[in-house]
Chains A and B, each alone.
Chain A
Amino acid sequence: MTSEPDISVFRPDRPGIRKVLGDLEAEIMELVWARPVGQGTTVRDVFEILYERRRIAYTTVMNTMARLAKKHLLQVEKQDQAYIYSPNLTQQEFVSRFVSRILEDLFVSFSGATLEGVNALPDPQVAAQVRQQLDEIARRRAVEESE
């Protein structure tokens, strides 16, 4: 059974999954998700890739991966003498879960304002239609002016 990921922070000013994960946590998760499905990874695998990007301590990577396992983002399995980490959810599933979780929390705490906010979001499809309409009018105006 997959446990729910533990989301305790939300930073609207950060991009992508960094809204709910620290920079190193997000970087590690991206590396784990980049691996073929069903193939686990070790702390050393992740450490070697990260070490090439910047000087980082092995223990920092190890502690961060242990924290991700504690947050139910990774699951850990002992094979022979090594600990193999694999993701509990795909990246898409994780995003979908934390968005639902945040929305649910907002609805519980501020139902009216959240509903209003969701309704108030501009509809990109309609905006695209109107832009198309404006382009068509501009084209017809140009033809009219040139006549």
Chain B
Amino acid sequence: MHTLLGLSSTLLVTLGSYLTLSILYRVGSWSQRRGVQFFVLIVPIVSLGIGIGGLHHFTGRPCLSSAPSWDSLLGVALPLGMGLVALGALGLGVVRLTLMARVVARSGMSAGPELQSLTDDLAERLGAAQSRVLLCAYDRPLALTYGMFRPRVLLSTWIVEHLDRRELEAVLVHELEHVARRDYLMVWLATMLRDAFFYVPTSWAAYRQLQHEKELACDDVVVGATHRPLALASALAKVRLHAVEGPRFGIAQPLVGVEESINGRIERLLATPRPTTRTGRSHRGIFRVSIPALIGLLMLEAVNVTLILAAMGCGPALLLGKLF
């Protein structure tokens, strides 16, 4: 029964997440979609909470005395394991952050005043906060934002050398939008949540969607701000050409996925010169989907816990007595 409680709460979370993801097609705005995806990633915390809370409640209580030993063992081992995995994911997230900070500190150097002033002008045009641009000597395409609270834009020398001015502008606007959306922080948190709840299949689906859609959202902002989708498409095609022509030792499979994703973005930019999805940053819509979903899930979990406890002989009245 204790095992059943842990498994059923995880199953309920998974089902709830599936339902939430399945209504995502009705959400039009990128930021709202991101909010819902993040909700799906964070909601397994409920089942972890129930598991850990169950540990506190059951240990040494009469509920356990009638349970078979394997059930008691699993009832303790499952939430403990879930908690340890979550702690491990947190540790891994911190290690990732530290490694990234080291790599940027070691290889990043200040971009020249020309590139910095171009970035500042673009940030002003976008109405976004100004960001520092760093360059790293790397003969491969690389453009990313880095930093939790004051994100910076990191470009490789390949990008500066191989892209013309319009293409470079498009790439910079794309990266500045990542800064404005705080994508680095979001992806860092999302990666930790995905790792912490790797056993929940919807975590992987939501994570993939989040990663893919953040690029599309920033592409749309480039189109809206510069009115030059072809410049961004051209920059992406150059990156794609470099990816398919260059050696792919050791990372052949991941690169295939990246290459397909870049091609999808190019085709999208070529087919739709104007963004088809609203790019507002309102958070109201997120709550419209997430709050009812969360309330519904919590109610279902409460019913689930009550029913299972009743079956175990720890009825709701007894539960209340033990909790308070």
Q: Which A residues are within 8 Å of any B CB, using their own CB?
A: 116-117, 119-120, 122-123, 126-127, 130-131, 133-134, 137-138, 140-141, 144
4 closest A-B pairs by CB: A120-B248, A119-B252, A134-B237, A130-B241
Please, how many angstroms separate the alpha-carbon atoms of A91 and B166 in the complex?
Answer: 52
Please, how many angstroms separate the alpha-carbon atoms of A128 and B24 in the complex?
Answer: 37
Interface size on B, residues (CB 8 A): 21
Please, how many angstroms separate the alpha-carbon atoms of A93 and B145 in the complex?
Answer: 54
B247 touches A126 (CB 8 A): no
Nearest-neighbor residue (CB-CB) of A118 within chain B: B252
Q: A117-B249, A122-B248 are in contact. Are A144 and B230 (CB under 8 A)?
A: yes
A126 touches B244 (CB 8 A): yes
Nearest-neighbor residue (CB-CB) of A119 within chain B: B252
A141 touches B234 (CB 8 A): yes
Residues of B within 8 A of A119 (CB): 248, 252
B238 contacts chain A at the CB level, 8 A cutoff:
yes
B246 contacts chain A at the CB level, 8 A cutoff:
yes
- Chain B's interface: helix, strand, loop or mixed, by majority? helix
A127 touches B244 (CB 8 A): yes
A133 touches B244 (CB 8 A): no
Nearest-neighbor residue (CB-CB) of B242 within chain A: A130
B4 contacts chain A at the CB level, 8 A cutoff:
no
Please, how many angstroms separate the alpha-carbon atoms of A141 and B165 in the complex?
Answer: 13
A131 touches B241 (CB 8 A): yes
Q: How far is the CB of B197 from chain A (nearest CB, A)?
A: 32
CB within 8 A of B238: which of A122, A134, A140? A134
Residues of A within 8 A of B244 (CB): 122-123, 126-127, 130
Residues of A within 8 A of B238 (CB): 134
Nearest-neighbor residue (CB-CB) of B269 within chain A: A137
B231 contacts chain A at the CB level, 8 A cutoff:
yes
A137 touches B230 (CB 8 A): yes
